[in-house]
Amino acid sequence: MLFVQLFDLLPDLNGRALLDVGSYTGLSGLVMHRFLAPSKLHLVEPQKVMQDPLRRTIKANLKTSQVVLHDCIIDDGTSAMTRASSRPDRLSEATYLRRDGGKLQSATIDGLGIKNLGLIHLDTPGQKIYALRGAEKVLENDRPIVVANLAGRDIAEQREFMEARNYEYVRAGKHAAIFLPK
What is the maximal distance between C-alpha atoms in the chain?
Answer: 44
Numbers of helices and strands, H then E, in the chain: 6, 10
Give the start-to-end residue ranges of the domains of the chain.
2-181
What's the confidence (pLDDT) of residue 20?
96
Q: How does pLDDT run along the chain (182 residues), one tens digit per residue?
A: 456 666 777 777 888 999 999 998 888 898 888 888 899 999 998 877 788 888 898 889 887 678 999 988 898 887 777 665 555 555 555 565 555 556 666 899 999 999 999 999 999 877 899 999 999 999 999 999 999 988 767 889 999 999 999 999 998 878 889 999 99
What's the confidence (pLDDT) of residue 61?
87
CATH level 2 (architecture), domain 2-181 = 3-Layer(aba) Sandwich (3.40)
Kindly give, in sequence order, each residue whose CB lies less than 8 Å from that of residue 166, ignoring residues fewer than 6 positions away. Answer: 181, 182
Sign of CA dihedral 108, 112, 115, 120: negative
Pairing of strands 117-122, 17-21: parallel
